[in-house]
Amino acid sequence: LYTAPDSCEGRCGEPYSREDECYCNAECERYHNCCEDYYRHCREEGFSSSRDAITDEDLLHISEQLYKADHNKARPTDIAINPQYQASPDETGDQEDRSPQPLYKYVNEELFAKPTYASFIKLLDNYQKATGREEDVTAEELREQDNFLKEVMKTELMKKLFAFLHKKNRYSSEQEFVADLKEMWFGLYSRGNGEQDSSGFEHVFSGEVKKGKVSGFHNWIRFYLLEKQGIINYFSHNFNGPWDTYPDVLGLQFSWDGFYKEVGSAFIGSSPEFEFGLYTLCFIARPGRACHLSLGGYNLSIQTYTWTKSTYGDGKKYIATAYVIS
């Protein structure tokens, strides 16, 4: 199902990009830079045929569709942020608090009563933030995962994403898609010494602490809730996206319980299904590479990485991380 950077599976006819390790279009034969499995995958019909490739144009088009379908996003009046100090690239590692006020001046918490928000927030306290500690997943937590997936799949945004991936031959049914979402996002693997201590969802949305630093943690709702409790201290930002409505993008520096995050990019004001959907799209279409999208006419790129040390199912990869390139 996944497009490995060094394979042509699902990439036949994909346009040239300097970021690629090897190539899968007709030109690669002339330049002698085809992936090793080019002839096996790209000279036969099926999943890997050129009509199933997810092109750069496809990504720009589907991302605009998902952007328009984010009906649960915050309205401009729902959130007021106070970004304060903008750090230069050589200041982001200083660990200096240059912003005396919190980042969030106001959030309309009625947003959190919406089903996708409520089910998302229930997941956030299911994890131990330190890597190297085994995660004990209870029956209640498994139900919370299923409920979140059920709620996001009711949205137009996730239905559009499934329709796109179905058309591209990645999934034969919505049931198969949901089962795979559960594995790729919530399946446990080890970032430590063999303990089942991490998952894509924990890393990206809830955040982790590894080797004394904040790792992952790319979600505005999680940030707001912890800042409100006094557990997060906002230091500065290094990037503020061009959007004049939500979702926006911020690259930010902060301390979480005394642990520092040098650059933590996040969508601001997006619904949980918007982030979940965009990251899933990019993980399936461009794992390990920059995934170039368009939101409201502005370009934006998402970087994902696969977890390479363990797999599920028939050799499928877990999500290691996903974030907006700021």
Q: What is the DSSP letter of 189?
A: B
CB-based contact 154:115 (threshold 8 Å): yes
* Cα–Cα distance measured from residue 47 to residue 192, given in angstroms and rounded to the nearest whole number: 36
Place of tokens 């997941």: 123
Residues 6+ apart with CB under 8 A from 131: 191, 192, 197, 198, 208, 209, 210, 215
Nearest partner of 111 among 70, 149, 68, 63, judged by Cα: 70
Residue 195 in tokens: 């303990």
Spot the catalytic one: 210, 218, 237, 317.
218
Catalytic site includes residue 203: yes
Catalytic residue among 41, 261, 292, 317: 261
What separation in angstroms does the CA of 215 have from each of 111, 292, 322? 27, 23, 11
Q: Which residue do the tokens 């089910």 mark?
A: 119
> Facing residues of 80 across strands?
106
- Establish whether 218 is a catalytic residue: yes
302, two tokens:
């998402």
Q: Rounded to whole angstroms, how far apart are CA atoms 286 and 292?
A: 9
Q: Which of 73, 203, 210, 292 is catalytic?
A: 203
Q: Is 101 left (phi over 0), alpha (psi -120 to 50) or beta?
A: beta
- 32 catalytic, yes or no? no
If residue 267 lies in a helix (H) or strand (E), which one and from where to where?
Answer: strand 259-268
Catalytic residues: 203, 218, 261
